[in-house]
Every structure is written in structure tokens, then in C-alpha cells.
Structure 1
């Protein structure tokens, strides 16, 4: 059974609200009143994508017999707020910390790919929903599609601290397939 400590739930909730808030602020053109109105939308689209991404890492790590817990990174949340002030978001709200015996490269790759694959799946679900939901709900679904495809692509960049580096070290072909899917979804959402 998957368990979440009280501190972990607090960290997830705080991270989700801050991330949703900074995205709402940027999406609203840095208008505070519009940010408040947009916040429920970004909690659903950005917050859901963030939380499920991290839970996917946790569940996969637990599946392989590791202890895993999400912990927020205060400096990363501050960075998100500061960059939002300047009109863009660079967010590093925290991560799932994994403890146990040595983590083999393939297992680490599988744990790492779980988050971006979750965002790819959410992007596809939001895209399908956008085609059947009327008016404003369709726009919310399109936002969920755009944000989640971008989150997948960003996390698949193969630099040390992101999921992409671990996936690439494990299996460059799987990394390429996931990155290509995320890239296609991301740049399709811009048109």
C-alpha cells in the first residue's frame, strides 16, 4: 500500500499551489485579479500534471522496492515566484527522494521515465477532452494539453538534474521516442 506522510502531503500541496499560482500569474499577463480567477484552472491543469508526475516517480520507485517521498525545495519555489515576476516560469519545486540499496541504471531510468510518460498521457487525455468539451471547458482542456506536453518535454531534456539525463543513460532509444512524442505534442499545441 502506498503511504504519504503528513509532511509529504504538505509539501505536495504547497508545491502544487505555488506552481499553479505562478502559472496563473504568467498566463494572466501578470494581472493579480485575473490570476485569482485563473487559479482554479491552473490547479487543475498545471497542478494535476505536477502532482501526478511526482506520484508516478514515487509509485514506480516503490514498485522496485525503494522508499520514496516527495520533498519540496524552498529555493526552487522562490525561483518560480521570481521568474514569474519577470513573465516566465522556471520551476523546480521539489523532487521525489528515493532511498534503498544501489539503484541500477535501468531501474533508475524506469523510475525517471514514469513522470514524463504521465505528462504525455495527461496531454493526450486533455487533447481528447478539448475536442468534446464545449466552450470554456474546451479551452481549459487545451491549456492542460499544452502545459502537460511542455512539462514532459522540459523534464526530458538530458541534463543532470532532470529526468531526461537518467532516461538517456538507461536507454537512448526510449529517451528519443519519449522526447519525440513530447516534442510533437508540445509544438502541435502551439498551432
Structure 2
């Protein structure tokens, strides 16, 4: 399947992965923004948070977009991720200035007409849209596994595997919940247009995992 990725798409995904990871690492390091933080930046702590963000937020974003791409290809439609340079810069700038991440670094563009002339149906569009949030919810499982393997005492110790587990669940639940909102061009709007029951299950599950993840700590 990876041979269906263009060189430009690989570059765009890599840039989005780095930018979003850097943004989340910044808010972990300085919740109110680096420019407003009164504490000096510890290079080791900063690198640790970057690694955690790369393995959680970055991977969550990339796999979300790849789920859209390969589901579209399964239905016979070409799709590619395209980064948005302005949004990438805005994500990092907002994190640094005010400690807020607006994670919209680009989108998977779906060419809605197949070579045989058939156009994308509402059901196919709904399933393609649902695949992203479903992927993020499924990613919560291995991150939860890290916490289970670490044991109850690890929650208070704050070791890196525990931090990866907790942040992995939280950020993937956030990505799923945000994208399932039934507004504008978000996934939730397209899923709702296709199937109300699927929409209800996914948005309830996303909110439940998100809220539950903050009771882990």
C-alpha cells in the first residue's frame, strides 16, 4: 500500500508530523506558552516531551490521514494528503505564544471521480471520513496497554512509558472527538450525513474515552 504514496505526500506528512509534534511538545513543556513562561527551558525535558509528542500526537495525526487515504483507495478513488503551510506555522506559533494547539495541518484530498467516471457516494464518503476517528480510537488500545504493563505504581512515578501511554490516549481521543464534531468539513458532518447510528456511536465513544483519559492521572 505504501507504494501508492507520492514523494510529495511523504514530505507533506513528515512536515505535518514534525510541526504537530513540536506544537504539543511546547504545550507540555510550557502550558501557557514558552514566551509567557517564567521558567528556563530544560533541554533534556524539552527533548523528552518532543519524543513523547512524536510517538503520540504525530503518529495519531499521520495514521488518521493515512486511514482516509487508503479507505478512499479501497473504493477506487485516488487520495493524497496535502499540508497547509499557514496552518502548520499557526499551530507552532499558537503553542509558543498562548499554549494552544489548533491541529489542522492539512487534509487528505480525495479525487471524487474514478477513472471509470463513477463519483463518490454519500456512503463511501461517510466510511472514508469515519476511518480517521476510528483509527485514533483503536490507537488508544496499545497506549492503554503501556499503562497496564507499567502497573499502578507507574502512574505516580511519571516514567516516560507511562507518559507516552497517558498522552497517547488523551491526544488520540482529542483528535477523534474534534474530527467527529458535526460541523463544516470535519469528518463528523460527513458521517452524520451517511449514517446517524454510526455517527452517534463514534462521537459518544470519542467523548467517553477523552473524558475518561483525564481520570487516569
TM, length-normalised to structure 2: 0.84
Determine if contact 2:52/2:163 at 8 Å carries over to the other structure: no
Q: Which has the greater radius of gyration?
A: 2
Match of 2:18 in 1: 17
SS of the aligned residue for 1:109 comes to helix
Q: 2:143 aligns with which of 100, 116, 126?
A: 126
* Distance in structure 2 (CA, Å) of the matches to 1:103 and 1:186: 32
Aligned pairs for 1:69-148 within 5 A: 69-84=80-95, 85-101=97-113, 102-133=119-150, 135=154, 136=159, 137-148=161-172
Please report how far the alpha carbon of residue 78 of structure 1 lies from its aligned counterpart in structure 2 after TM superposition.
2.1
Determine if contact 1:79/1:91 at 8 Å carries over to the other structure: no
- Deviation track 1:119-140 (CA, whole Å, cap 9, x = no partner) reads 0000122112211136421221
Unaligned runs of 5+ in 1: none
* Distance in structure 2 (CA, Å) of the matches to 1:141 and 1:150: 14
Please report how far the alpha carbon of residue 144 of structure 1 lies from its aligned counterpart in structure 2 after TM superposition.
0.3
* Distance in structure 1 (CA, Å) of the matches to 2:61 and 2:164: 16
- Deviation track 1:60-87 (CA, whole Å, cap 9, x = no partner) reads 0000000011110112112212321211
* Distance in structure 2 (CA, Å) of the matches to 1:60 and 1:116: 13
Equivalent pairs counted in the alignment come to 191
Alignment RMSD: 1.4
Match of 2:37 in 1: none
TM, length-normalised to structure 1: 0.95
* Distance in structure 2 (CA, Å) of the matches to 1:48 and 1:126: 12
Unaligned runs of 5+ in 2: 35-40, 114-118
* Distance in structure 2 (CA, Å) of the matches to 1:126 and 1:155: 20
Determine if contact 1:80/1:89 at 8 Å carries over to the other structure: yes
